Chains A and B, each alone.
Chain A
Amino acid sequence: MDYVIMVVITFGALFVLLAAIGIVRMPDLYLRISVTTKAATLGVGMILIAAAVYFGEASMTTRALAIVFFLLLTAPVAAHLIGKASYFVGIPLWRKTVLDDLKDSEDTHSLLGIDEEDEDADKKDDSQKPESEV
């Protein structure tokens, strides 16, 4: 049983190490997000599960499972938001990037779309003002 724990915890640490190397090696921001958030998820998950097996208590197991659950819940949301925000801010893709479907789509300027909505809101405010005065 000890050997199983050793193997799992070693692989977990290796995945985290690879994620760290990945940050340095990957050429652009999107690939860095791809490599780190997830490799870290699996790595930390394996370490936590090994810890739960090592202690073998119900309280430890539930704690480890809860941490893994919330990691799986929050990591992709953060990755998605950072990725989306940086794309619309205009952070360039790697020069060897093969295709970019988002560039040609109408949805690319959803930031502009927000601006338009704001303008509409302003107009509504303007139109409401006279009414309220009346």
Chain B
Amino acid sequence: MKKKFLVNNMLMLVWVALKGDFTFANFIFGFFLGFLALWLADREHAGKRYFKLLPSAISFFLFFLYELIKANIQVAYEVMTPTLYMEPGIVSVPLDAKTDLEITMLANLISLTPGTLSLDVSEKGDVLYVHTMYVHDKEEFIHGIKNGFERKVLELLR
């Protein structure tokens, strides 16, 4: 995995050096070109994980951007309208994420989206306590976190 990534970066540098065009866009283009070359050369599917990682990282980023903007508009609406429609509460979300890295990523992402704030993790690391602005339905909220952020995080890290 790491080896593939290093080779990919090296191919990117080679591409940039050959073109002699040290711009940001050319670095990105070189990286994708290197990625494509490695993918074509990987005949035994030894680096399968690496080739799955980049698309899932991109989809993860886009998904996160979408969630961020959606939640921001929701909060903006709440702030602007005169009556407060909020039903805030602290919800315990059972976790499938096991390692510290997975839990940290998930908690940070939840904190980063407006309206939700991760308050605490249980000592065993199996429950995450999330403060949220809208608890219409507890099960629905848990379902949303598990199928949204958690699934994406695990997809990326496992």
| Known contacts A100-B89, A105-B129: A39-B114 contact under CB 8 Å | yes
A98 to B86, CA, bound (A): 10
Interface size class of A (residues with CB under 8 A): 35 or more
A122 to B133, CA, bound (A): 42
A67 to B79, CA, bound (A): 27
| Known contacts A58-B23, A98-B87: A30-B92 contact under CB 8 Å | no
Say whether A105 contacts B72, CB under 8 Å.
Answer: no
Say whether B76 contacts A18, CB under 8 Å.
Answer: yes
Contacts of B115 in A (CB 8 A): 34-35, 38
Say whether A76 contacts B111, CB under 8 Å.
Answer: yes
Say whether A22 contacts B75, CB under 8 Å.
Answer: yes
Contacts of A84 in B (CB 8 A): 119-120
Task: Count chain A CB atoms within 10 A of each CB in B22, B86, B131 and give the residue with the most.
Answer: B131
Q: Which of B75, B112, B118 contacts A72 (CB 8 A)?
A: B112
Contacts of B38 in A (CB 8 A): none
Say whether A25 contacts B88, CB under 8 Å.
Answer: no
Nearest Cβ on chain B to A104's Cβ, whole angstroms: 9
A110 to B61, CA, bound (A): 34
Closest to B112 in A: A76
Nearest Cβ on chain A to B128's Cβ, whole angstroms: 10
Contacts of A75 in B (CB 8 A): 111-112
Say whether A87 contacts B86, CB under 8 Å.
Answer: no
| Known contacts A18-B76, A75-B112, A76-B111: A102-B120 contact under CB 8 Å | yes
What are 30 A-B contacts defined by CB distance under 8 Å?
A15-B72, A22-B79, A27-B84, A30-B117, A31-B88, A34-B75, A34-B116, A35-B79, A37-B111, A38-B71, A38-B114, A42-B72, A62-B24, A75-B112, A76-B108, A76-B111, A77-B111, A80-B111, A80-B119, A98-B88, A98-B89, A100-B90, A101-B92, A103-B90, A105-B122, A105-B127, A107-B123, A107-B127, A107-B129, A110-B123
